[in-house]
Each structure stands twice: as structure tokens, then as C-alpha cells.
Amino acid sequence: MNNYYGKKLIMNSNIKQMDSPEIKYIYKFKLKNGKEKDFEVRLDRNTLNMMYEPKESYPRWTELVSFKCPNCPLDEKTVKYCPVITKLFDVIEFFKDSISHEEIDLYVESEDRTYLKKTSLQNGLNALFGIIMPTSGCPNFDKLKPMVRFHLPFTSLEETSFRMMSMYLLAQYFVYKNGGAPDWEFRKLVDAYNEIRIVNKNFCNKLSEIKVKDAAINALVTLDCFAFTISYFIDQDKLEKMKKLFSAYYLDLK
């Protein structure tokens, strides 16, 4: 194929994707025992809210009145079910008897690229939870939505920390452009992750109560470790280790 026309086809394909009203991710799990399961996550491209068809009913334990986190701002009088657990329900149900270290083949498809990795079930669920929880409708996760727009599975803690802090600084630029006071010291990011850690802890406790095995719980523990790492990274001035990567930007400053 002529190189010019090849580039044009790719450009047209990308434009078509951007015109679509939704963003789609497909997670395909292949377990060692031969079982396979696909989970499709569809997001509204403008709001990054999860496009979701609720079930007619859910188990009583998913009701907000019993599953509510200590820092949940939602009112159980108007919201019947926890928005996070209803979005995670099918995943948790399918893997409720699975153990975290089970080896799987995981295929992830997005509109930009595909991924294939042999990994643990815990790591696979961790990546999937990282899409579903921020887009579920839980107010405590709303500020993580921009990360989902450019979701990357299988990232390390260091990679995700870099992406998160970069995203946060871009958010502060938009705050500044809209007349607000930007937070260049990451203080509000630490606060946001402290709130998320409260949610993660509550979820682990609630899932333990309903006798879910450790795959889903350890996936949440991994997410909580990342939340802690962000706070530690900033509070302990670990940013200094990254400073040398940006020397081209400040060496000539006087």
C-alpha cells in the first residue's frame, strides 16, 4: 500500500473513532482451567460516565444503606444501590470463588491498541477495576476520570504515579484558566486519594463479609497500595528523584 494512502486510512479511522459517542474497552480473561469470560466497558465519550444497563434487582448487600462508605456523600433515601458495586457486580460474581494468584491470559482491546499478557488474576482485575470504579458514578472517584480516557493496563506504580501527577497538573492549568486558584503543591491530590483509600478499605471489608475469595479483594488492595504510594511520593519529597528528567526545562533559568 502506498505510504500516503496508508497514513490517510489510519487518520480516517482515528477520526471515525473520535466521532463515536462512546469509548469501548474489552477485557478478555482466559483462566488456567479453560474458562473464558469477556467484560465490555462502554463509556460516554463526553462525560466518561459508564454506559450501563442496570439489572432489575440486586442482592440486598449491594444497597447503599448497607454498603455505604463512611465518606459517601450520596443519600440512601434517593440512591438505592451503591453505584460502584452495581457496576462491579458481574465481575465480582464471576470471580467470587477465584484466588488472586491464579495465572491467566488477559487480552485487552481499546480503540487505540490491543494488549496481551500472561499475568495473575489479581493484576487483571486490578486493571479492570481501574476503569469501572472512576466511571461508576461514585463522587469520590470523579477526579480520576481523565486517567480512564487514556487508560493503560499493566502499568507499574511508578508509571501510574507519573501519569496521575501529570494529569493533575493539567487539571490545575484548567483551574487557573477558569479563574480558580491552582494547587501546584499536589495537596488536594493527596486529599482526594485519602478519600479513595477510605472507599477501598470499606469495599474490602464488605466483600470479606459476603465470603468473596481473595482475587477481587486483593485487586482492591493493590489499588489501595497505589493510593498510598501517591501520598507517600508527594509527602516524602520523592519528586526530587524525577527532577533530573526535566533538566532541559530549568537548567538555563536564572
Q: How far apart are CA 122 and CA 109, in angstroms?
A: 19
Rg of the chain on CA atoms, in Å: 20
β-sheet bridge partners, residue 106:
29, 117
pLDDT at 2: 57
For residues 99 and 213, the answer to whether their CB atoms sit within 8 Å is yes
Q: Which long-range contacts (CB under 8 A, 24 or more apart) does 241-249 make?
A: 242/162
Residue-wise pLDDT tens digits, 66-97: 899 999 999 999 999 999 999 999 998 888 88
88 vs 207, higher pLDDT: 88
Which residue in the block uniquely carries the three cell numbers 478519600?
195
For residues 86 and 138, the answer to whether their CB atoms sit within 8 Å is no
pLDDT at 9: 45
pLDDT at 236: 64
17 vs 139, higher pLDDT: 139
Task: Give the pLDDT band of residue 6 (cuts 50, 70, 90).
Answer: low
pLDDT at 10: 46
Give the type of residue at 165. M
Cell of 61: 448487600
pLDDT at 22 over 80: yes
Q: What is the pTM of this model?
A: 0.85
Task: Give the pLDDT band of residue 3 (cuts 50, 70, 90).
Answer: low
Which of 46-55, 99-108, 223-232 is predicted with the least confidence, judged by mean pLDDT?
223-232
pLDDT at 115: 94
Q: Which of 207, 24, 52, 175 is nearest to 108 (CA)?
A: 24
Instruction: Classify the C-alpha dihedral 38-227-46-153 as positive or negative.
Output: negative
21 vs 211, higher pLDDT: 21
Residues 6 or more apart whose CB falls under 8 angstroms from that of 20 comprise 45, 111
Residues 6 or more apart whose CB falls under 8 angstroms from that of 109 comprise 25, 26, 28, 115
Q: What is the DSSP string of 7-72?
A: HHHHHHHHHHHHHSSEEEEEEEEEETTS-EEEEEEEEETTT--B-----S---GGGBHHHH--TT-
Coil, helix or strand at residue 134: coil
237: left (phi over 0), alpha (psi -120 to 50) or beta: left
Coil, helix or strand at residue 220: helix
Residue 34 CA: distances (Å) to CA of 27, 31, 118, 121, 215: 16, 5, 14, 14, 17
pLDDT at 104 over 90: yes
pLDDT at 4: 53
Cell of 121: 488474576
Instruction: State residue 14 phi and psi, 5-degree precision.
Output: -65, -40
pLDDT at 173 over 90: yes
- So where are the chain's domains? 20-250
